[in-house]
Amino acid sequence: VSRQSKIKFRRGLASVVTSAIILSAVSIMGVMMLAWSQTSISTQKQEIEDVYNTQMNKINEDLIFENIWFATPSGAMTENHLNVTLGNVGILGLNVTQITITNSTGTNNTSIPYYFTNGGVIKSESLSLNVTYPWQSGDDLDILVFTNRGNQFITQEIAP
Amino acid sequence: MTHHRGLSAVVGTVFLIAIVIGAMSYISYSLDVMGNFSESLISEESRQRDKQDEAFEISSIDITAANKLDGIIKNSGEIPIQLKTLYIDEQGVNDVVQKFTLNTSISPGNTVNLKDLVDFDMNATKGYNMKVVSSRGEVNSFYVNSPSQQKLPMYLRTIPEYVPSEFTTTVLFSVVNNMSNNNVLYNVTPELNATTVLGNNVGNIRTGPIPTSYPVLYPGDVATFEYSVQLTGEQDDSVRFDATIANGVADNIVSTTAYVKEVTVATQAGTALESFGLSTELSNLLDILYFHDENTATPNGEYQMDGSDVTGTGTTGMLEDAVDFEFITSNVTATTTVLPGNWNITLAYHNELVPNGIPAPSFAFMMETPDGPGAGDIFDTTGNINKDFINYGAPTWNSNGGPDNKAYFSFDGNDDFRGDWDINKEYQAYTDIEGNAVTTAVWVRIPSTVDDTYMPIIRWGDEGDNASQDDDEYEISFGDYSAAAKGEFVYRYNTEPDSDQTLCRTDSAYDYNDDKWHFVVGARDGDDDCKLYVDGVLKDDIEDCNGCSGSSFMQVKDKEDIFIGHDGGSQWLIGDVAMVMHWNNVELNATTILDLNNTNYGLNATRAQITIEKTDGNGVSSGILYDQEFSFPYHDTSIRGDSENDRIDLQKADTDWKKYYAGNFTFSTGANTTFNTGERLKATIGWSGDSQNLPLHFRFDDEDPKFEQNNILTYFQTPASTPAWPTFISFQRDEHVTYLVFNSGPNGAWFTYGGTRFVITTLDGTQSYGGIIESVNATSGGGPVDSTKDSIFIPDQYYAELKFYPLKNPPIASNGGGTKPDGGTYTASVFLSGFDDKGEVFLRTISLGVVNVEP
């Protein structure tokens, strides 16, 4: 076998091996990449779904202040207080978790938060909550309502 | 290499396909998510748009007659709405807010009535904060009778601020609704108080507020109220006016001050003149207000009431049902003060015999007078029997002491009786008992000293006739000769003399010779039946029928053989009789007889509801002076019958003054009563119900001088008033109209020819007619006024009688020429021009309102 022939034979073998190696490597890489991409897409889909649902529910949550009245001590309420009646006019049930009353009159900025664990309101229903607050006649009060979805609803009232 | 390339292409293709599938899957998912997101956003957007498109308004708020909340809510948006909740917060009530569930749908443009949705009692004087909430969260607040706790911008102005004493100024009060959240105010009612700063009672609100309230005040709207205030006082006296609105915030008040200033040079200054309208006689300007039967120029069809003479043939007012008689004065043209004292209504009236619902009797002797047509004779008040009931033996008449303290006759048991009724056959329908149903009633009192076994009280049939003429007998007696009936009332009749008798009598357990008045009634439905009532109670209805198979007809041969207190033979009554009534062909039932027993024929015969009140110019009450039931005494028409051919009974014509009696209603006031300019005095006489109440007929506005000569007039007399009451205005178109003015001072004055006119204008304003001044006080020392001569001097506190030439167009100082006004209603004004003794000129225009010109 001539030297030239030997070289020619070796070249053919190397080519096959190389091709196999390359093919294997590429296949492995391809499979890995596919696996990774599937996992990644699935994770992203979940994240997108969570964000989407959360945000849409938040957007669809709606609440109005049906009525607010101020009262002096009476019955079980031994101090000045407010009655806040909230109406759920959105398309979902909601949970009122906090009402914060803030006096925005002049420099008196007393702010008192009240927390509720039973503030659920189903769709189209209303909820009345009594909130003790040392209001004085003429006080300008901000009434801020928080829901468990993180929405905030605010209104202003002047104490009689 | 060719093989390698092929392999690579395969691997690459596989990878490419995998990548493409992955990418497509991701893109597809992303699009899906985007689609959902968009859908949610669109849905939310739609909800928000619906929320924005939703609108409703409270069109009106009202309080029903039953004091219930009423109002109209209108869907003013473009989509259907559902009202969900109504909150009502009554001001002044702590910690109570009422919540009403509405749950009603309204299509666009449609309305609902609140009263159909909620049942809420309202108080017209209290303030309410209300909110209506829709299902989409639209909240509409509104305020009734109050702006709640929000202060409103208010403005108060006096125009002019300075006026002479006795002149009026105008007070304007404005309120702006600038409430937050575009709140609507309903029923905005002003309140104005005058507080004298310097002087004594300087400000006197004469009219206003005009309007009395604003039913609704939308955001940004302004409510303006006008008052006319007369200032009276010395130079620089002043009065402060404070204004607010009903149920407003406590310190949301505005003030202004007006001053009394004499204006030395002015077009309106000088002597204060007060109008009295038109009249032809100064002498009638007293405190007497006659009731008239005209109702022209009254606000609501009431009868006129003024000091002018009664005219015409008059009217009889039948006070017997739910129709009230209302009399009202013309509106006063100056503040009128009525001094403390008695207010008196005198009615010329007579009574019916029985309350409504009870048949009228066939004849009735009320025994209210001893002086009938003949000496001591009496007669039938019904007028059915126009004959005397002859007096024998002179029973004693007593003016009082009877039942209900009315009059009665006493019979001595010897020879006193009434009987031998000189009646003719034509009256048999009222007296012949025959076999009819009948009822006979008598008020009688038997002395305790009586020991007789029989005394006739009221009787048909003459026991004195001889046997061949023996009458049938019908009677109410005391005893029937039997020992068992001694002390008892007996009702009996005998249709076959001494053999066919039907008898009822009271129980022997009680003797009625007890010195007490008793109402004894015998009734039957026909022959062989009897019922005996005493004091309205049935005592016996089981007839003692002896030989009842005989004739069933009562036959009194001589029609005059009807007696009171006598049997025609030898028996007379010892006792008193106050009233006899008989119903032929009628059997009264127990209820009716009890009602008759309880009917008062004394001082409380007729109960009328009397209301005396002040009203505004439209006849709407502005203050009650008296509103109570008042009793008028019984008046029988027979009192004035004074000759045999002049029996005064109920069938006499209503125009006959003798039928009537002057009865008074009186009440007192302990302080001045003030009528502001434009107000009226109103008297209402109403019926207080049928039960035991005798109908009353009163005569008014009858010019027959007999009424006045005998002082039987219907009128209203007030305590002295300053100035006197105005009259209604009505005159002929050719008449020389006389206008009365009172100079209330402080200065005397002359009227001048130049500007003193009387003017009328058609109601549509298209035609006017004027009357030129002709004379002033021509009948009391004055004389003509013309271009060369002013009027005589009218001192302070004196009246001026201004006479004008007939109204013409153009005005002419003569009787002829010019165009006369047609008959009809016109608005009238008087222009007064003159100067006072201080040299100050006055020019006054006085509106007389609507007058009636007769063709």
How far is CA B388 from each of CA B187, B380, B444, rounded to the nearest angstrom? 69, 8, 21
Quick one: pLDDT at residue B206? 83
Mean pLDDT of chain B: 84
Interface residue of A11, A21, A39, A62 to substitute, partner B, most B CBs within 10 Å: A62
* CA–CA gap between residue B364 and residue B582 (Å, rounded): 6
* CA–CA gap between residue B193 and residue B97 (Å, rounded): 33
How far is CA B9 from each of CA A13, A28, A37, rounded to the nearest angstrom? 21, 16, 22
Instruction: Find the mean pLDDT for residues B92-111.
Output: 87
pLDDT at B269 over 50: no
Q: Is A129 touching B (CB cutoff 8 A)?
A: no
> Greater confidence, B472 or A2?
B472
| B6, B9, B11, B13: CA torsion to nearest 10 | -140
Q: Are B540 and B533 in contact (CB under 8 A)?
A: no
Residue A2: strand, helix, or coil: coil
Among chain B residues, CA nearest to A52: B37
> Greater confidence, B627 or B560?
B627
pLDDT at B512 over 60: yes
How crowded is residue A122: how many other Cβ atoms within 10 Å of its Cβ? 11
B423-459 pLDDT, tens digit each: 666 677 788 888 889 999 999 999 999 988 999 999 9
pLDDT range class, residue B264, cuts 50, 70, 90 = very low
Q: Is B13 touching A (CB cutoff 8 A)?
A: no
B747-792 pLDDT, tens digit each: 888 999 988 999 988 877 889 999 999 999 887 778 899 989 999 9
- B105 CA: distance to closest CA in chain A (Å): 15
Q: Is A30 touching B (CB cutoff 8 A)?
A: yes
* CA–CA gap between residue B86 and residue B139 (Å, rounded): 10
pLDDT at B122 over 60: yes
Contacts of residue A72 in chain B, CB cutoff 8 Å?
A: 94-95
Nearest to A19 among B7, B87, B137 (CB): B7
Contacts of residue A67 in chain B, CB cutoff 8 Å?
A: 87, 97, 99, 131, 133
pLDDT at B350 over 70: yes
Quick one: pLDDT at residue B553? 74
B80-101 pLDDT, tens digit each: 999 999 999 887 787 788 899 9
pLDDT at B168 over 50: yes
Quick one: pLDDT at residue B643? 63
> Greater confidence, B373 or B623?
B623
Q: Are B522 and B439 in contact (CB under 8 A)?
A: yes
Q: Are B143 and B184 in contact (CB under 8 A)?
A: yes
Q: Interface pTM (ipTM) of the complex? A: 0.79
Q: Is A41 touching B (CB cutoff 8 A)?
A: yes
Is the pTM here over 0.80, yes or no? no
Instruction: Find the mean pLDDT for residues B600-625.
Output: 92
Quick one: pLDDT at residue B203? 87
Mean pLDDT of chain A: 83
Q: Parallel, antiparallel, or unpaired: how do β-strands A111-115 and A120-121 relate?
A: unpaired
* CA–CA gap between residue B581 and residue B380 (Å, rounded): 9
Instruction: Find the mean pLDDT for residues B251-277.
Output: 59
Half-sphere exposure of B702 (CA within 13 A, CB side): 26
Q: Are B475 and B438 in contact (CB under 8 A)?
A: no
- Provide the percentage of residues in chain B whose pLDDT is more than 90: 29
How far is CA B617 from each of CA B249, B299, B825, rounded to the nearest angstrom? 32, 7, 17
Token readout for B78 is: 């473009």
- Strands (E) in B50-135, as ranges, are 56-63, 69-75, 81-90, 98-106, 111-113, 128-134
Quick one: pLDDT at residue B281? 38
pLDDT range class, residue B683, cuts 50, 70, 90 = very high
Peptide linkage before A113 cis (omega within 30 of 0) = no
Among chain A residues, CA nearest to B5: A19
Nearest to B40 among A56, A67, A71 (CB): A56
B695-730 pLDDT, tens digit each: 999 999 888 888 887 888 899 999 888 777 777 777
> Greater confidence, B581 or B275?
B581
- Residue A50 contacts by C-beta under 8 Å, 6 or more apart in sequence? none
Cβ-Cβ contacts under 8 Å between A and B: the total is 88
pLDDT at B57 over 90: no
Q: Are B772 and B812 in contact (CB under 8 A)?
A: yes
B312-346 pLDDT, tens digit each: 788 999 988 878 999 999 888 778 889 888 899 99
Interface residue of B3, B16, B133 to substitute, partner A, most A CBs within 10 Å: B133
pLDDT at B471 over 90: no
Token readout for B848 is: 């007389």
Nearest to B94 among A72, A89, A126 (CB): A72
